[in-house]
Amino acid sequence: MDTERTTAPIKPVRASSRKPLQRLSPAIVEQVERLLGGRTRDIRFNGELALLFRERSWPRTAKIIRAWMVWVIVLDVLTLGLNAVLLPTETVMSMLWPASILPPAALVASIAFLRPHALRVQGVFILSAVFLILLSVALVGVNTGGEFYERHLNIMLFVAVTAIIIFPVPLGWAMAIGATALGIYLVFQLRNPDIKAGSALAGTLFFASGVAATVVARRTATIFAQKTFLLELRDRSRLAELTDANSQLELLARTDPLTGVANRRSMMETLNHFWNEDLKRTSGAAMLMCDVDDFKHLNDNLGHAEGDRCLVKVAGIIQSSMRDERDQVARYGGEEFLVFLPGSDQQEAGVIAERIRSRVEAASLPNPTSRVGPWVTVSIGLAILMQNGELVSAEHMQRQADAALYLAKKTGRNRVVVHSPEVDQSLQ
């Protein structure tokens, strides 16, 4: 007896071939809703949410940083070239060695941002590069002296401000860049023999207000970028929920609620798809119409609840008897089940039909008033795709399988009958 297969789980009906959206974790969803429900200025990312934001923004951030580094290299080279044309050789030579610090520092940073690194590593690269770049710009003026002293310190602050504005980096990094620029400015201004200490300090404080405003603007831009990201995550979460709900509704619309196998509508869609799309690529097909013998007697004698349990078990047996996911089983109506076997010939379909019949009988489900015996049995009609060397339609196959089933019922039940011309003649 092959009764261990009778409890095999029902394969779920495939609702859709669309790839489901990746779901966010409940913790992330809760954090997103909490941040969006608060004040925009209070948005702070940490943990997994911060990691998601970095992953999302990394390509754009890396591209911007690399572009800025290339910009300062080009600016440095062009400035040196212009000075070489306009200024005395002695002056140009005094600028040369401090200016040579900038290109390697910027180039190393650009290379470092070609691929992702840990946040700490990224911070070390970018802050070190910016420090050397700012120091290089300042030293060009300091080493040259005269009018270039103050001018290059101001240029250095300008370079720092552009970095703060352009770099979409954490607030701490922006503050570090600003503090570095102001620190370099103050140190060299205090060393400037033409400027008193009080004036140097006052000038630093003046520029500090501008740098601070720039840092605040950078923080504001970051907050808005983070809020946009939160809105995207919320939309993504809601879309995923909606997709799941639609999939469930589609699944329910295609599934028999009692047995869990496909319903008639789903089977019709399967058959239509096969005849419209797969017929040319398939060597054959077969169809089984299965009917529980004397099911009305079972309902009348044991009750509808027992009848429902019988249908569920029979559906499980039929499902477990299939070859693979290609085979489709549907509750066609009442106690009837339609089985579609693509790529199957008559012999293979007959083996499957007999397997279903014998397993249902071996399951020993009670039906004491059945005309066959005290147990539940099924009758099966079989029809194949090829008839006299010609392909038949899905509707024609169903009629043939139904005719064979009728003959199986007529000739004693609990048997498999294969459709043939003799079947039609016997029913006339």
User: What tens digit of pLDDT does each residue of 294-323 get?
Assistant: 999 999 999 999 999 999 999 999 999 999
Is 350's pLDDT higher than 70?
yes
Q: Which of 126, 140, 116, 132 is nearest to 172 (CA)?
A: 126
Percent pLDDT > 70 in the chain is: 93
Does residue 252 lie in a domain region? no
Find the DSSP H helices in 167-303. 171-190, 197-254, 264-273, 295-302
Same domain, yes or no: 140 and 81 = yes
Kindly tell me if the per-residue pLDDT of 240 is higher than 70.
yes
**15 is a domain residue:** no
Question: Is residue 195 domain-shared with residue 326, that is, in the same domain?
Answer: no
Q: How far apart are CA 367 and CA 306, in angstroms?
A: 10
| pLDDT of res. 390 | 75
CA distance 103 to 4: 75
Q: Residue 254: inside a domain, yes or no?
A: no
Q: Would residue 257 count as lying in a domain?
A: no
Distance of alpha carbon 280 from alpha carbon 115, whole angstroms? 49
Structure tokens at 146: 């005269």
- pLDDT tens readout for residues 316-344: 999 999 998 889 999 998 999 999 999 89
How many folded domains does the chain comprise? 2
Of 33 and 353, the structure prediction assigns the larger pLDDT to: 353
Instruction: Give every CB contact of residue 45 below 8 A, 6+ residues apart in sequence.
Output: 53, 226
Instruction: Specify the length of the chain in residues.
Output: 428
Domain co-membership, 38 together with 158: yes
pLDDT band at residue 278, thresholds of 50, 70 and 90? confident
Q: Which of 355, 342, 327 is nearest to 385 (CA)?
A: 342
pLDDT at residue 27, as a whole number: 84
Q: Please state, in angstroms and rounded to a whole number, the distance separating the CA atoms of residues 85 and 294.
A: 107
Residues 148 and 273 in one domain: no
The boundaries of the domain holding residue 40 are 26-237
User: What is the Cα–Cα distance from 137 to 143, expressed in whole angstroms?
Assistant: 10
Residue 255: strand, helix, or coil: strand
The answer to whether residue 249 is domain-embedded is no
| Same domain as 291, residue 225 | no
220: tokens are 């504001």
pLDDT at residue 146 tops 90: no
State whether residue 288 is helix, strand or coil. Answer: strand
User: What pTM, to 2 d.p., does this model score?
Assistant: 0.60
Categorize the per-residue pLDDT at 210 as very low, low, confident or very high, splitting at 50, 70 and 90.
very high
| pLDDT at res. 11 | 52
